[in-house]
A and B are shown apart, each in its own frame.
Chain A
């Protein structure tokens, strides 16, 4: 070799993102940027009531407005058997309401017009005759014997109960509580929030009347899953459906489900023979699409006098909205909430959950969370702090005593997970050191003497991501496995096609780096294609931090397949036997004679120009990955706050986040993901809540009421890392997109409670607005 080879920018390199060039120049293609010739525009009429019978819909005036092409109602949809659609949780959901409306904002009718302004004008001309019914606005109310039945459309549904779900060993847990020296409990409501990506949902449906080809541009995190669901819902042949998910302006779980707007636009395109565009307004996004959380939880922990955790009991009521359409693995009714034993070696645990219909929007999605893990992590981390105070020990000490020790991995939890790897002590020690924990406790005591309320909160979370192994994880029966296809061109450049769908996570860069690591082709020479079902392998998409655990693994595996073929080609070129060829950093060389070598580029050229007899030409393959287990990222977050006793306002002085997500492929991108998650965790702790009044009116379906933190409110973050590779993932990575949202809400809230515990404050439900904090302080003082 004439010159020193350029370093391969594979795993561990903070490569600048390949996708940025188009975004910084305003050249991204988001859904509303898609324009097709002859395209029509659709707008949706929504219910003003949470619960009402529909007596009739008069569309005549709307239909007469110049520019209106069609008005679609549930009745019309029913003629095509499309008034209802299946949800991702084996329930049904109204596409356009026919019998009654079941939540405020529900889709009632749609107008298709030549112009989006005209479509919205026409909505005001549709007359709907409603008879309002009493609304059910909480699961407690839904469970009442006198509660009106919401799902009158379902023949065997006589009440509002959807499911009961259990996990763990009840008897063993009851026994642990009987024998416990100390029992602590917490009742808390994890409020309904909304992922609210800055780009709303939308689609452009284009069905060619001549060929029947359906090309649907859609804001979806799971294009392949959506294609299959569309084939099932609409009865369209799957080979004629092409879902293209363009650049997504964020997703956070909001863009996983199938929404009625997609189905109506597709039906309208089918009926009219023209492309139809539907773009949500913000209020529509907040009032009708996939919400998150909404769990009413009761938790108890049993401990011995010396602080050993003996048992955990959690029961919860889930507010599922009007249609059960959680997007999660079908086997688990409350997602992976049974990770609720967290980072602790708990000998017994039991979880029971009940889901209820209410007159609220459906679509329990994992808002930057791996299927209800956020709620679980919040419960255990709040309980641990309460237990520490009850026992009179430091919360860090109680954690240290009960952490699953490093040498116990792989660790089988009593709720059935096998944790792959962890070193919880190391992560916590680093977080405590970075935040200066011991000094802070002294500072806190001093501050208290001056009447200042300083609080220090910890959370040592364990995430569970990468769903998943086929025997346990599926959505609508489709196994949660993903694929990657890799083709190296004759000039040594490559194209990687993946089943995941980036929404800002940087897949176009990260996955190219995996190829770089495995094959030695620089990331800038690997084009990553995603989001187009005609041109990518099948897979279930990007949510629940699953892309690196599944697609990242598939990418490594397919690269290794090509490496093996490259070895054969190199042996042919170098005229040695295959066993004599070694590979390192993009170079195949003869064992013991590193100068006798061929680069991956030379080998790729030979795959098309000079391959041995009997070998299939080309350098191309695919891999589907069925993970042997989930992955378990973890970390410890430490938050320092100061609370103003007079106003209840609080501000974050420090937020130290130590994350262990296994091997970091692109450290810059990993840190960006953590920053984002910490901000959204703060948002939940401090500001975000979708609220309803007694009549089921959604209060605040806009950004002036549903508060999203700006740069001004958002704390500054200090990051740290430990690296404990996943033993079963091909490159040791675990996934990181959601760790910070899972771990941080408890840390922020624990800090505020820590500041107020001595006053007698035991719990404040999120979001911790100053008014709620102030009230809690007053109440504690009054009862003291």
Chain B
């Protein structure tokens, strides 16, 4: 089946098997390997991408369902050579260890911050409760997302 999907601002047309998962389209067809697969059952969130701005688990969507839509992956966070505030904050606050869940966490966090620029601890924890991290105990991930929110608020008021 022919699909046209806009990924990180660039349009990609491809002929794909109907059963091809979106995550495999991103990883294998487009070689965007920052999106990871952790569980195959929509539980861990390592494969989270933004679909028209909303976090979705790309291991549980077919590529054909993305036809005509816009996908943002971790590779699309950096703009004009500048790290997205959430990327900078994850490093600053030690919000990652092995890095495997990090792309999904950052995208989920970025989507939350669009809706709510200064989320409480509980609001962050609820928002990322579809993303599993085994390394950090979440403490610094929560902090990183809040720090990114503060950075973004500060830069828009400048």
Contact = CB atoms under 8 A, between A and B. Distances in A.
A in complex with B: yes
A30 interface: yes
A396 B38 CA distance: 42
Interface stretch (A51-59, A197-205, A568-576): A197-205
Contacts of B88: 24
Contact of B41 (A17, A117, A198, A704): A704
B106 interface: yes
Contacts of A283: 40
B140 A24 contact: no
Nearest to A34: B33
B97 A25 contact: no
A144 B133 CA distance: 41
B100 A676 contact: no
B34 A710 contact: no
Contacts of B128: 710-711
B138 A711 contact: yes
A456 B88 CA distance: 39
Contacts of A198: 36, 38-39, 44, 46, 98, 100-101, 132-134
B146 interface: no
6 contacts: A30-B36, A30-B100, A198-B100, A199-B46, A250-B100, A704-B41
Interface of A: 16-17, 19-30, 32-33, 117, 195-200, 247-250, 252, 281-283, 503-506, 668-669, 671-672, 675-680, 702-704, 708, 710-712, 714, 716-717
Given A250-B100, A282-B38, A24 B87 contact: yes
Interface string B37-58: 1111101101000000000000
A678 B137 contact: yes
B102 interface: yes
Given A24-B90, A198-B44, A504 B139 contact: no
Which of A198, A669, A712 has the most chain B CB within a 10 Å cutoff? A198
B67 interface: no
A668 B43 CA distance: 29
A28 B33 CA distance: 8
Given A24-B106, A281-B40, A676 B99 contact: no
A321 B72 CA distance: 44
Contacts of A704: 41, 43
B140 A672 contact: yes
Contact of A25 (B35, B39, B78, B133): B78
Nearest to B139: A675
Given A30-B100, A198-B44, A708 B132 contact: yes
Interface in B111-135: 121, 124-126, 128-135
Interface of B: 17, 19-20, 27, 32-41, 43-44, 46, 73-75, 77-78, 83, 87-88, 90-92, 94, 96-103, 106, 121, 124-126, 128-142
B134 A252 contact: yes
Across chains A and B, which 9 residue pairs bring their CB atoms closest together, nearest first? A26-B34, A249-B100, A23-B99, A504-B98, A504-B97, A679-B137, A675-B137, A703-B43, A26-B74
B134 A250 contact: yes
A19 B41 contact: no
Given A30-B100, A711-B142, 17 more contacts: A16-B94, A24-B88, A25-B74, A26-B32, A26-B35, A28-B34, A195-B134, A197-B98, A198-B44, A250-B100, A675-B138, A676-B134, A704-B41, A708-B132, A710-B131, A710-B138, A712-B125
A711 B129 contact: yes
A712 B139 CA distance: 11
Nearest to B83: A24
Contacts of B36: 30, 32, 198-199, 249
A703 B132 contact: yes
A198 B135 CA distance: 9
A711 B35 CA distance: 20
B92 A16 contact: yes
Nearest to A197: B134
A200 B134 contact: no
Given A26-B75, A32-B37, A199 B90 contact: no
B39 A703 contact: yes
Which of B20, B128, B139 has the most chain A CB within a 10 Å cutoff? B139
Contacts of A503: 98
Nearest to B102: A23
B61 to A, nearest CB: 16
Nearest to B33: A33
B38 A25 contact: no
A199 to B, nearest CB: 5
A399 B97 CA distance: 35
Nearest to A716: B139
A27 to B, nearest CB: 7
A282 B134 contact: no
A25 B134 contact: no
Given A20-B96, A198-B101, A249-B36, A702 B41 contact: yes
Contacts of B17: 117
A668 B93 CA distance: 9
Given A676-B135, A711-B138, A20 B39 contact: no
Contacts of B99: 19-20, 22-24, 28, 247, 249, 504
Contacts of A248: 98
Nearest to B99: A23
B125 A668 contact: no
A676 B75 CA distance: 26
Contacts of A28: 34, 99-100
A66 to B, nearest CB: 14
A677 B102 CA distance: 18
